[in-house]
Amino acid sequence: MNLNIPKKIERMLQKINSAGYEAYIVGGCVRDCFLKRQPQDWDITTSAEPEQIKKIFNRTYDTGLQHGTVTVSWEGEHYEVTTYRIEGKYDDCRHPNNVTFTKSLKEDLQRRDFTINAIAYHPQEGIKDYFSGQKHIEQKIIKGVGNAAERFQEDALRMLRALRFSAQIGFDIEQKTYEALQQQKGLIKKISVERIRDELEKMLLSEHIEKINLLWQSGLLNEISPMLSEKMEQYGEQVIKQIKKAPFDRMIIWTIFLQYMTAEQGEAFLKYLKFDNNTVKTVVMLLKHLKDDIALEEYELRKKANEMTTEQLNRLLLIQEIQQRQNIKQLRDCFDKILQRGDCITLKELTVTGEDLIKTGMVKGKEIGTMLHFLLDVVHRNPEKNTKEILLQCAKEKQK
């Protein structure tokens, strides 16, 4: 079987071979080739040790020497080249106590998480598949390599990875592997929140989002957030339907996912997962406004866009559209017209600045800000009044 991998990767494998070592592409990229999906990256596994790889290639970076990984710059791209390795015992459910290099490809494949991720390929040597990965790809199942319960005990993140792959490629989790996941779910608490967060996000942005119901059905979500899990058990189906209709926008998708939490609960959850400030701020704002009944008036929309920013109001309308809220089509048309005309929304677009007001004799201080907001409100009501002449006149009258 020929997997038709890019020629430059073939050349890279051959370069390692010419130096006297074995080299294969492995893991996600091989799985994705079988699935006719574009691989994210091409990982290479080799019998050469890092120091030997560094001698073979001109440009390399020490990215993970302790795990046997060297990043190689080759024909304009970067590739991770990792020495065949065996992992020692895991005492913390996260990291092996030690790793040792091996000359056996089979041993390297054996340490990998799922059979579909444990296939290696070389254009001349063919496919190396010691754990029936190809069969499981055909059967569309995710199955642990060896004893699934033990594999989850070694590294509990693999449980979330199983669910994530299921959501990404639409496969079911093989029964024994799923049972092991249900048994070991409590171990997820040993995993850092950042890694949990990244897996959850990948899951939420997946093509087969319907598979995400396993997250709560398995009991795993209950270990991460009992409250969210409870909401999903009740409303999960609706949430999945809505995410299916959503644009590919992580803020919108997180908001839909957390919609049955209050804004405060959503905020606590996102902060617990150590999300960046911008994500927390944006999703919390959307959660706060989610239930808003926006009046079908241009003035209200301009005011709201100023309050939330145009970008966030746009997202809010997109979510309300998915939720088929009343008047949503008209609101959308109305907002689109406002944007097309380029109506003034924020103080930035107001034709009068604080400086202008000072020039008319107003004293520096709080009053300037108050006056600018008054003028912005005038313009929100009547966009055509956004000229210096009219607004300075308005300011004058207001001061009388």
- The binder of 113, among Mg ion, ligand ATP, none, by C-beta within 5 to 8 A per type, is ligand ATP
Among 13, 27, 228, 320, binds ligand ATP (CB under 6 A): 27
Contact window for ligand ATP (CB under 6 A) among 67-75, 128-136, 155-163, 348-356? 155-163
Least distance in angstroms from the C-beta of 41 to Mg ion: 5
Residue 124 tokens read as 């001349």
Among 16, 33, 42, 43, binds ligand ATP (CB under 6 A): 43
158 lies in the binding site for ligand ATP (CB under 6 A): yes
Residue 389 backbone dihedrals phi, psi, to 5 degrees: -60, -50
Of 40 and 340, CB closest to Mg ion: 40
Residue 118 backbone dihedrals phi, psi, to 5 degrees: -120, 35
219 lies in the binding site for Mg ion (CB under 5 A): no
Q: How far apart, in whole angstroms, are the C-alpha atoms of residue 360 and residue 379? A: 20
Q: How far apart, in whole angstroms, are the C-alpha atoms of residue 160 and residue 113? A: 11
Residue 145 tokens read as 């390599």
- The binder of 155, among ligand ATP, Mg ion, none, by C-beta within 5 to 8 A per type, is ligand ATP
The DSSP 8-state label assigned to residue 206 in this structure reads: -
Of 156 and 301, CB closest to ligand ATP: 156
Q: How far apart, in whole angstroms, are the C-alpha atoms of residue 148 and residue 221? A: 19
Tell me which residue has tokens 């009068």.
352
Among 60, 69, 117, 229, binds ligand ATP (CB under 6 A): 117
Contact window for ligand ATP (CB under 6 A) among 6-14, 150-158, 329-337, 368-376? 150-158
Restricted to residues 55-114, the positions that interact with ligand ATP (CB under 6 A) are 112-113
Residue 76 tokens read as 């304009």
User: Nearest-CA neighbor of 274 among 163, 196, 216?
Assistant: 196
Contact window for ligand ATP (CB under 6 A) among 47-55, 121-129, 154-162, 240-248? 154-162
Least distance in angstroms from the C-beta of 28 to ligand ATP: 2
- CB contact at 8 A, 82 and 67: yes
Q: List residues bridging with 99 in a β-sheet.
A: 87
Restricted to residues 22-61, the positions that interact with Mg ion (CB under 5 A) are 28
Q: How far apart, in whole angstroms, are the C-alpha atoms of residue 93 and residue 85? A: 18
- The binder of 285, among Mg ion, ligand ATP, none, by C-beta within 5 to 8 A per type, is none
What stretch of H or E contains 292? Answer: none
Q: How far apart, in whole angstroms, are the C-alpha atoms of residue 65 and residue 63? A: 6
Contact window for ligand ATP (CB under 6 A) among 124-132, 153-161, 265-273, 337-345? 153-161
155 lies in the binding site for ligand ATP (CB under 6 A): yes
What stretch of H or E contains 3? Answer: none
- The binder of 117, among Mg ion, ligand ATP, none, by C-beta within 5 to 8 A per type, is ligand ATP
CA 97 to chain centre: 30
Least distance in angstroms from the C-beta of 43 to ligand ATP: 5
Sign, CA torsion 110/115/116/120: positive
Of 146 and 354, CB closest to ligand ATP: 146
Residue 43 backbone dihedrals phi, psi, to 5 degrees: -100, 140
Residues that bind Mg ion (CB under 5 A): 28
Q: Which residues bind ligand ATP (CB under 6 A)?
A: 27-28, 40, 43, 112-113, 117-118, 155, 157-158
